[in-house]
Every structure is written in C-alpha cells, then in structure tokens.
C-alpha cells in the first residue's frame, strides 16, 4: 500500500490487518518513535473537526512531525495552482500528505502528479470516498460484533452526498456484511446502487430499522445541495430522525453510529445521541487509532 485513496482495492485480509493494527494501538502504549523523522502534512480544503485533529494526533503519537497547512494564509489564495502547491510542498521533503477536498478524485490526482515518493491519504473527497472513516466505523462495529457475517445494518440520511456511506459500504461489504439497508427520502437516495455493493434502498425508515444490529445516522450535507432541496427540519425529523421510539424497532442492543458533526433534533434526537446505545464518541476515539494504523502502514519501514 503506497497511498490510501479509497477502500476499493483493499481485500478482506488487508482491511483486517489495518483494523487489527488499530485495535493494537488502542490497547497498547503507542510506539512513540515508530515514525521519528517522518513528516506528515495535513492539507484541508474543507472544514473538519474530527478528521484533521485525529490525523494530527495520530502522527504525533507515533513520533512524526506534523505540519498543518493553513490554507487561508497560504498562496492558494493568491491563485497558486494545486499542482504548484503540491510540488512546492514536496520540495520540502514530505513523507505523507493528508488531503481533504470538495472535488471527487482530487487526492488521486495529487497522487498521480507527485514527483516524490510522498504517500497521499484521502481524508474525504467530495461525495466520493472517506476511507479512514470507513475503517473506523468498521472497527467500532467489530468491537461489539467480531463476526461481520449475519449483521444487519441500516444507514439513514443524506446517502446521495455521503462519501462516508460509500467508504463504509465498501468496508462492510468486503468484510462480509450481507444486509446493508440504505434509507432516505428519495431526493437523498443515490441514483444508482452501483457504488453500493450489497445494499438495498428504501424510503421507509421504520421498516429499515426492523431487527438491525447497527444504525448509522448521517447529517444532511447542505453544502452539497441547492437551498431549494433543503428539507424542513421538523418534517425531516418526524420522518427520518432517530428517536427513542424508532430505536426500539431495532435489536435491543443496537449500536447507534454517526460520523459527526451531528445536528441534534434533526437526524438524531439528543437523548439517543447521548444514550447508552450511542457509540459516537467511541467512533471519535477509534478515529485516532485507525489513522495511526494507516500512517504506520504507509510510512513505517519494515524492520
Ligand atoms: C463527515 C465528512 O466530512 O465526510 N465527517 C467526518 O469526517 N467525520 C461527514 C459529514 O460532514 O457530515
């Protein structure tokens, strides 16, 4: 593995190895010098709380140097092209470039045009992929359900614009989950299920929740839709919000996931987000160790 751009090329063994490594970092002291002398640059063209911070912490916990590229103060605001920015940064000797961009495929484009051996990690590109989120969600689920076969999983919300769902589905399908139910109002369902192997789609949230082991809720990605498409918040919550009544339709120990940021009272009721079945903060904690595993896999020279 030289870059991490999507989860599409990772088979079950490769995914399992990354999850095992992340779990090891969670339960053992981090080897503080594993990435000593390596430099990881985080380059985010879209806002981020969890993803950026956890990549920074992951790099630091393994002893790498981290540079957080401050776009608002950089020459991209003076019109420097992305490739000129890439080559300028590469000339300073980087080992990894963690990039988030609103255009699908931009991390792959940078990986193709890199002059040096820099490893490119996709931290979310448009609606296309968010591979480390797919890994951390799989890890969070695996901590309660070590066997992915026979799991029933519902994913509800703005699927159409969700790079998280695309990467989650890749990971979960490859790991053996056979029943993945996508649920949303029609305007938020994807036009085709080609990028969603092993999934069914419906508009009926109550039906989709029947006997699921895991439900993942998603934010409405207003930044990726026209204002006219925004649903009315109260109406959306009535049909697609996860509240205590709906959660009771799932299995009694159903885990509730959400990649964040959450919009309380819209896609999820506060008592569910903060309730005993919520794994939302476990996902955040797992995000750090998954990103440690990815950086270790890409950058640590084998002994
Ligand atoms: C997601 C993203 O940016 O794709 N957030 C995240 O990385 N945890 C989902 C979202 O923004 O709704």
Helix, strand or coil, per DSSP, at residue 44: strand
Cα 221 to middle of ligand 1, angstroms: 9
21-56: string of b/e by CB count within 10 Å (b at 16+)? Answer: bbbebbeeebeeebbeebbbbbbbbbebebbbbbbb
Q: List, in order of start, the domains of the chain with CATH numbers.
A: 12-130+286-299 (3.40.50.1370), 145-278 (3.40.50.1370)
pLDDT tens sequence across 230-251: 889 999 999 999 999 999 999 9
Mean of per-residue pLDDT scores for the chain? 95
Residues tagged active-site: 50-51, 78, 100, 130
The pick from 6, 169, 184, 259 for probing ligand 1's pocket by mutation, whose C-beta has the most ligand atoms within 8 angstroms, reads 259
Residues sharing a CB contact under 8 Å with residue 28, sequence separation 6 or more, in sequence order: none
Q: Is the dihedral of CA 117, 21, 124, 98 positive or negative?
A: negative
**Which atom of ligand 1 has the smallest separation from the CA of 164?**
4
**Which atom of ligand 1 has the smallest separation from the CA of 162?**
4
Cα 24 to middle of ligand 1, angstroms: 25
pLDDT of residue 286: 98
| Tokens 């076969």 -> residue | 149
Name the token pair of 44. Answer: 């985010």
pTM over 0.85? The answer is yes
**Which atom of ligand 1 has the smallest separation from the CA of 259?**
8
> Which residue's CA is the nearest one to ligand 1's atom 7?
51
pLDDT tens sequence across 75-121: 877 778 889 999 999 999 999 999 999 999 999 999 999 989 999 99
CB-based contact 107:117 (threshold 8 Å): no
Cα 261 to middle of ligand 1, angstroms: 7
Check whether the bond before 261 is cis (ω within 30° of 0).
yes
CA distance 90 to 95: 9
Q: Angle at which helices 163-174 and 12-27 pack, to 10 degrees?
A: 100
């Amino acid at each position: 593995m030289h870059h991490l751009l999507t989860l599409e090329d990772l088979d079950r063994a490769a995914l399992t190895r990354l999850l095992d490594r992340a779990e090891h970092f969670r339960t053992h002291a981090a080897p503080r010098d594993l990435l000593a002398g390596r430099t990881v640059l985080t380059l985010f063209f879209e806002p981020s709380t969890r993803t950026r911070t956890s990549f920074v912490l992951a790099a630091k916990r393994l002893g790498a140097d981290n540079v957080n590229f401050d776009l608002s103060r950089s020459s991209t605001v003076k019109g420097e092209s992305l490739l000129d920015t890439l080559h300028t940064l590469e000339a300073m000797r980087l080992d990894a470039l963690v990039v988030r961009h609103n255009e699908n495929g931009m991390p792959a484009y940078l990986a193709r045009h890199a002059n040096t051996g820099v490893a490119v990690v996709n931290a979310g590109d448009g609606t296309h992929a968010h591979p480390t989120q797919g890994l951390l969600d799989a890890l969070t689920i695996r901590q309660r359900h070590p066997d992915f076969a026979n799991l029933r999983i519902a994913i509800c919300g703005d699927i159409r614009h969700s790079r998280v769902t695309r990467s989650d589905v890749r990971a979960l399908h490859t790991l053996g989950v056979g029943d993945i139910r996508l649920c949303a109002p029609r305007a938020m369902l994807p036009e085709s299920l080609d990028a969603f192997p092993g999934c069914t789609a419906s508009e009926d949230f109550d039906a989709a929740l029947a006997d699921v082991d895991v439900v993942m809720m998603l934010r409405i990605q207003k930044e990726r839709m026209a204002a006219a498409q925004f649903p009315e918040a109260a109406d959306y919550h009535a049909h697609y919000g996860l509240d205590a009544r709906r959660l009771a339709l799932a299995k009694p120990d159903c885990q509730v996931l959400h990649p964040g940021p959450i919009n309380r009272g819209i896609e999820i009721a506060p008592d569910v987000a903060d309730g005993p079945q919520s794994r939302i903060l476990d996902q955040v904690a797992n995000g750090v160790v998954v990103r440690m595993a990815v950086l270790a896999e890409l950058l640590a020279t084998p002994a």
